[in-house]
């Protein structure tokens, strides 16, 4: 799983076990479906000014929201969450190329 690999690589990210990783993937998916579109619409001006780079901050906020909800998933702050969101986005992009 990508989230487990990222947790091993990035200092400040901790997942306690396989069940926590499954719950994390489920919560991240739900947050990306329900909350992310609302945040994108609300931050369109900032996203346009930063040429889309603000979407990484939105992804970081989604990771921090998931950390608040999922037991066994701990994030050490904004920067580890940012690296986790960046790595997750990169891996998602790479997997989409395989299709």
The Cα–Cα gap between 39 and 19 comes to 28
Contacts of 15 (CB under 8 A, 6+ apart): 3, 4, 7, 21, 24, 72, 73
| pLDDT higher than threshold 80 for residue 1 | no
User: What pLDDT shows up at residue 86?
Assistant: 95
Q: Which residues contact 77 (CB under 8 A, 6 or more apart)?
A: 12
pLDDT for 98: 84
Q: Which pTM does this prediction carry?
A: 0.92
């Amino acid at each position: 799983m990508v989230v487990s690999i990222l947790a091993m690589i990035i200092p400040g990210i901790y997942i306690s076990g396989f069940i926590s990783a499954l719950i994390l993937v489920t919560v991240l998916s739900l947050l990306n479906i329900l909350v992310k579109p609302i945040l994108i619409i609300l931050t369109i001006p900032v996203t346009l000014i930063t040429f889309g780079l603000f979407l990484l901050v939105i992804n970081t906020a989604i990771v921090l929201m998931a950390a608040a909800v999922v037991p066994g998933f701990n994030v050490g702050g904004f920067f580890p969450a940012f690296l986790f969101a960046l790595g997750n986005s990169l891996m998602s992009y790479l997997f989409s190329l395989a299709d």
